[in-house]
Amino acid sequence: MVAGAQDNTDARFDRARVATLIQSTQPDDPLAILRPEVLRRTAHSFLRGFPGQVSYAVKANPAPDILHILVQSGITVFDVASVPEMLAVRAICPSARLHYHNPVRSLSEIAQAKALGVASWSVDRMSELDKLGDLPKGTEVAVRLSLRRGGAAYDFGSKFGAAPDVAADLLRVVAARGLTPSLTFHPGTQCTDPTSWADYIAASADVAKAAGVTLASLNVGGGFPSLPRGGAALRQRLFDTIDAATQAHFPNATPQLWCEPGRAMVAEATWLLLRVKARGDGVLTLNDGLYGALGEWRDMPVPSRLIALDAQGQPLAGSPKPFIIFGPTCDSLDRVPDPWRLPAAIAEGDYILITGAGAYSLALVTPFNGYGTCDLVNLDSLPDPSGQCRLAG
């Protein structure tokens, strides 16, 4: 079965399982719904399609079930931003390779990271390189490069990353200290523009040349878009562009390529099931909002991924109308910026299923106002709905 058809079959099967879950438990708190089959397939598509090594950016979704399935699927290298993320990974996979690619750290964090055996560190300024102190000879230090360019939903270059001349200086010092010199960049999240990667790879070659250093590896970041933005075909085009640009710009000594996707790895693998707490005139108050798993919605809404369900888990019929959406907290800022178009009959006790909500959702939940409950339920732990069976791809 081709990938798109398999996705649709899985989605139908999983929708039936969600309906059964609603009928049997009537969940009142927000629920994240893990689709293990989809996560496994995404991991395999990166492992097979990316022209290098694959790590996972834990920040996108650090749930133990997610990490466990990724390890089972063959991903044993993790981009970690903090000590708690390192511990979360080690709890699932004690031998995992850790890339500490948050370029700014405290001395205490550095000491803990060394004790946890971090294999690769990223830096974007000399003071942070010096702060790392003595590292065993040959430890990888990846200099984070930043170019000012568009192409992503939002750019990361304004916070982290060294301009090319500073990156060349850093690379020179890394090599002179007997460390393994590498470069890393992040084109910005939800980046749909292949030329972003091509430009970064070309600039990386220029930086390495200016530094007079042979790169051991080149980490092309996360930033890969979730599937609705261009689908599997765009992802493959990005992989092909990365491959071609690396061959073209590093003709003699090709660095080991790495990627560290977060969003693209987990977005489709988890759905979010929310409930309507109350209905007013054109207003719905949900059991979750901007302080919860909808934290990213303000910056990156995905209105096409909303499915209204009744209290039996069946799709609500009827023509849609716009609703103002409030979260459950007392803060009037806890409001989704743009109205959601939902069936006019939607009522208290109904549900809203948000598909493709696995990235930066659970990870952003806060306990504000005493909320913050969002359990993760693994669909494979639920009984199969009667008469359904998954078709293997």
Binding mask 175-214 for ligand PLP (x = CB under 6 A): -----------x--x-------------------------
- Furthest-apart CA pair in the chain: how many Å? 68
Residue 154's beta-bridge partner residues?
189
Question: H or E stretch including 208?
Answer: helix 194-211
Residue 328 CB, shortest distance to ligand PLP, in Å, is 27
Q: Token match 């511990």: residue?
A: 87
Q: Which of 36, 161, 262, 358 binds ligand PLP (CB under 6 A)?
A: 262
Q: Which of 222, 295, 313, 343 binds ligand PLP (CB under 6 A)?
A: 222
Q: Which of 62, 181, 194, 261 binds ligand PLP (CB under 6 A)?
A: 261
Q: Token match 């079930």: residue?
A: 65
Residue 224 engages ligand PLP in binding (rule: CB under 6 A) = yes
Residue 173 CB, shortest distance to ligand PLP, in Å, is 21
Record the tokens describing residue 226, joined without a space: 């979730």
255 vs 261 by CB, closer to ligand PLP: 261
DSSP state of 58: G
Spell out the long-range contacts of 111-119 with Cβ–Cβ below 8 A and sequence spacing 24 or more. Answer: 112/83, 112/86, 113/83, 113/86, 116/83, 116/86, 116/87, 116/90, 118/80, 118/86
Contact 286, 327 (CB under 8 A): yes
- The phi, psi pair for 145, rounded to 5°, reads -95, 145
Which among 10-18, 259-267, 308-316, 319-327 is the span making contact with ligand PLP, rule CB under 6 A? 259-267
Query: Shortest CA distance to 334 belongs to which of 290, 388, 389, 385?
Result: 290
328 vs 356 by CB, closer to ligand PLP: 356
19 vs 63 by CB, closer to ligand PLP: 63
Binding mask 274-313 for ligand PLP (x = CB under 6 A): ----------------------------------------
The rounded distance, in Å, linking the Cα atoms of 371 and 56 is 29
The rounded distance, in Å, linking the Cα atoms of 96 and 73 is 13
Residue 57 engages ligand PLP in binding (rule: CB under 6 A) = yes
Residue 343's beta-bridge partner residues?
320
Give CA separation, 245 vs 71, 221, 237, 304, in Å.
Answer: 29, 15, 12, 34
Residue 52 engages ligand PLP in binding (rule: CB under 6 A) = no
Position closest to ligand PLP via CB: 222
DSSP state of 214: -
Residue 67 CB, shortest distance to ligand PLP, in Å, is 15
Q: Which of 125, 235, 263, 275 binds ligand PLP (CB under 6 A)?
A: 263
Contact 17, 360 (CB under 8 A): no
Which among 237-245, 258-266, 295-303, 314-322 is the span making contact with ligand PLP, rule CB under 6 A? 258-266
187 vs 328 by CB, closer to ligand PLP: 187
Q: What residues make contact with ligand PLP under the rule CB under 6 A?
A: 57, 59-60, 79, 101, 186, 189, 221-224, 260-264
